[in-house]
Amino acid sequence: MAFFRMEGVSKRFGGVHALRGADLQVEPGRIHAILGENGAGKSTLIKIMAGVIQPDEGRMIMDGRDVRFASPAAANDAGIVCIFQELSLMPDLTVADNIVISHPPKRFGLIDRRAQRRIAEEALARAGGEDIHPLTPVRDLPLSRRQIVEIAKALSRNPRILILDEATSALTAADVTKVYEVLKRLRREGLALLYISHRMQEIDELADDCTVFRNGRNVATYAAGTKSDNEVVELMIGREYTHVFPPKPSEVPNAGAPLLEARGVSWTHRLKNVSLDVRRGEIVGLGGLDGQGQRELLLALFGVLRGVSGEVLIEGRPVPRMSPSRAKNPGIGMALIPEDRKTEGLMLPMSVRDNLSFAALDRLSRFGVIDDAAESAAIDRMIRLLAIRTDGTAVPVGALSGGNQQKVLIAKWLMVSPRIILLNDPTRGIDVGTKQEFYHLLRELAREGAAIVFYSTDYAELIGCCDRVLVLYDGAVKRVLAGPEITEHALVGSALNIATETRDVGARPMVGM
């Protein structure tokens, strides 16, 4: 008998059914993967379990009794702890403060800092983050380390059910390995783990049971490994799953002068003499472990960084005083799709319409006044082009699902018809269906003559989408792979900065950040 189960749980948001009569059973000592397309109801299900939102119908039964959680704190007290996709850390507080935040150890009514330190160190060690100093402000940690802190924080509450929502999406390869070990140990300790991920290989590696959600219902539950990837994806999207990646052109269509060229770009200690060139119609990938300077390179190209040495040339001409607002100029036509759509990309409380037109306002206005007709036409075109699922253009972007938010973000920059498109890990946390649409769009843009620089933490994307891949390590380009050279083996080998001839990649100690 499952010690936790949900029966007939439904939840509506406005007129939309996020969940309709969903069931779920959770067993101790097992890792249960939840799969499903975007908007399939996974996040809603988890939020109900974690006490963030209340179900309209249905029951939750824990240890044979009906339970209801009015707040995340109540769910935590019952032993259900969730690591959300959106980080729940307070940036100004130290790592230790964050880890013990819900139940700080106390002596004489005050927080016992020594005990807090001990708890934090233990939790960090359990989560594989021994190297993180407990007194560091979270603000100063890179995303992947923050994710480890997040896991440590969850473990410090001694959960019975641990829910991980895309918990590894920000992690480096080395961290992912550690997290796998941690999760497997927790399973041995008898924890129930719910695991949500869009990465199939993670699910293959970890899960015991899988439940697929579609349109707010659980459509199938099966033991891991009993269905092929293709069958699973078909269950998720409910349609034939053919090719994820569009075919690459046999040769780079236009071998002319590079549209975008960087020569010897350096910045502080994060970028070291990086050169790249991208032609029209070409998709150039940036690979390597997370945090090796890929983001900084994109920011440097986009004019966000100060004190960059080296040259950035557009059509062979250097660009003086590059900046994000200048990047839109027709003479440059560069767009950067940022990594963090919540803070850098979208204004969540504002409408889909406003978000879409922001970057293109100057093009859509005459004498400083926005031309409503032109704006509407442009927006309709984008919504059709990217198949953005939204209930009209007046709804706040924050109300859309993650994948659709990402589409709005991409569409916003396509509104300025950029010639050069820089993408910073754009598919993080979005579902297979949206990803597939996105890959086709990318290839389509390239075919229309755009030069694309695509940073991804997912090797499969680099292999499937890119004509060339630059592998960065410690701020420098370690290797350039082109065409058939782009293989997982080559990518992993060069990302770890070890010769690809070395076959025992896995046995080597991972090179640190």
Partner 1 sequence: MRDWGYRIREQRGTLLAFLVFVVMFAIYVVNHPAGFTANVVTTAANKGVLLALVAMAQTVVVLTSGIDLSVGMVFVLTNCLASALVVGSPAATALGVAAVLFTGLLCGVLNGLIVIYGRLQPIVATIATGAIFYGLALVLRPVPGGDVNSDLADALTSQLPGGVPASLVVLLVVVLALWLPFRRSEIGRGVYAVGSSELAAYMSGVPVGRAKFAAYCLSGLLAAMGGLFLTFLTYSGEASAANGNTYTLYSIAAVVLGGVSLFGGSGSAIGAIFGALAFRTIGDLLFVFDLDPLWQPLFQGIILLAAVCLGSFRLFRIRNRLELFG
Judged by CB under 8 A, the residue of 306, 321, 366, 384 near partner 1 is 306
- Surface-to-core class of residue 92, CB atoms within 10 Å of its CB (0-12 exposed, 13-18 middle, 19+ buried): exposed
Task: CB nearer to partner 1: give 56 or 77.
Answer: 77
Site for partner 1 in 278-297 (CB under 8 A): 296
The yes or no reply on residue 344 touching partner 1 (CB under 8 A) is: yes
Task: CB nearer to partner 1: give 10 or 44.
Answer: 44
- Which tokens belong to 302? 């986009």
Least Å distance, CB 206 to partner 1, is 24
- Determine which helix (DSSP H) or strand (DSSP E) holds 17, and give its type and residue range: strand 16-26
Site for partner 1 in 206-225 (CB under 8 A): none
Least Å distance, CB 82 to partner 1, is 8
Stretch that binds partner 1, among 8-16, 21-29, 132-140, 203-211 (CB under 8 A): 132-140
The yes or no reply on residue 304 touching partner 1 (CB under 8 A) is: yes
- Which tokens belong to 170? 């920000």
Check: CB of residue 477 under 8 Å from CB of residue 316: no
Residues in CB range of 367: below 8 A, 6 or more apart: none
Judged by CB under 8 A, the residue of 133, 185, 489, 508 near partner 1 is 133
- Print the binding letters for residues 23-52 with partner 1: x by CB under 8 A, - otherwise: -----------------------------x
CA distance 417 to 398: 25
Judged by CB under 8 A, the residue of 241, 267, 438, 454 near partner 1 is 267
Stretch that binds partner 1, among 87-95, 124-132, 199-207, 250-258 (CB under 8 A): 87-95
CA distance 80 to 69: 10
Least Å distance, CB 310 to partner 1, is 14
Instruction: State how beta strands 80-83 and 106-107 pair.
Output: unpaired
CA distance 209 to 215: 20
- Which tokens belong to 319? 């660009």
The yes or no reply on residue 102 touching partner 1 (CB under 8 A) is: yes
CA distance 62 to 122: 29
Strand partners, 468: 284, 482
The yes or no reply on residue 299 touching partner 1 (CB under 8 A) is: yes
CA distance 122 to 156: 8
Task: CB nearer to partner 1: give 281 or 426.
Answer: 426
Stretch that binds partner 1, among 10-18, 82-90, 390-398, 425-433 (CB under 8 A): 82-90
Judged by CB under 8 A, the residue of 53, 61, 67, 101 near partner 1 is 101
The yes or no reply on residue 73 touching partner 1 (CB under 8 A) is: yes
The yes or no reply on residue 350 touching partner 1 (CB under 8 A) is: no
CA distance 403 to 408: 9
CA 57 vs CA 61, 73, 140: distances in Å: 13, 21, 43
CA distance 482 to 255: 14
- Which tokens belong to 324? 């994000």
- Which tokens belong to 32? 């249960």
Judged by CB under 8 A, the residue of 1, 70, 110, 507 near partner 1 is 110
The yes or no reply on residue 422 touching partner 1 (CB under 8 A) is: no
CA 207 vs CA 201, 204, 217, 219, 406: distances in Å: 10, 6, 20, 18, 28
The yes or no reply on residue 166 touching partner 1 (CB under 8 A) is: no
Task: CB nearer to partner 1: give 127 or 364.
Answer: 127
Strand partners, 7: 59
Task: CB nearer to partner 1: give 65 or 306.
Answer: 306
Stretch that binds partner 1, among 81-89, 184-192, 390-398, 440-448 (CB under 8 A): 81-89
Name the residues that contact partner 1, by CB under 8 A.
Answer: 52, 71-73, 76, 84, 86-94, 97-98, 101-102, 104, 106, 109-111, 113, 133, 135-137, 139, 153, 267-268, 296, 299, 304-307, 344
